[in-house]
Amino acid sequence: MSGDGGEQLGLYGQELTEGHALARQQLARHGKDRYPTVELQAAKVCAEAGELMDAVLHHHYAAHGGRCTSPCQHTIAASIRKELADTALALYTLAGKLNVNLIECMAELVWNDERDFRPPQRLIIRTGEGDDHGSGHTDRRPR
């Protein structure tokens, strides 16, 4: 991990590790797992996601004397950064308790996700006789 000079350092000069490692580090520092079962950990994820939503809404509606314009031009508030981290760490910890690699789960989903939410492309079908507005080709170019 270190010593090869290629490690990426974060804000605090610490080597950046992936989520599972950080979640384990956090748990080790706490010295006690306050959410020892999968069910309690899943509830913790929801609680943290709720706090994240709260921080985002506070920023959007209250933090700057009115509505924040979208996309936001402000520095992301420390409270939002904290809740993002809490939520992600809780999720990584949950994945660990389920004995699955979260990144692997996400990769699996992304690589197999074939949904396409772009608007449908224009489709022109030549009707034949008397059709003088078109080359006879089906136009699948985006609008």
Residues that bind Zn ion (CB under 5 A): 68, 72, 74
Nearer to Zn ion, 57 or 103 (CB): 57
- In angstroms, give the least distance from the CB of 85 to Zn ion: 19
Q: Which residues pair with 9 in a beta bridge?
A: 15
Nearer to Zn ion, 67 or 133 (CB): 67
Query: In the bound complex, what is the minimum distance in angstroms from residue 60's beta carbon to Zn ion?
Result: 7
Spatial distance between the Cα atoms of 125 and 130, rounded to a whole number of angstroms? 13
**How far is 80 from 59, CA to CA, in rounded Å?**
8
The Cα-based distances of 110 to 86, 107, 114, 115, 116 in angstroms read 23, 5, 8, 10, 12
Shortest CB 68 distance to Zn ion, Å:
3
Residue closer to Zn ion (CB basis): 72 or 124: 72
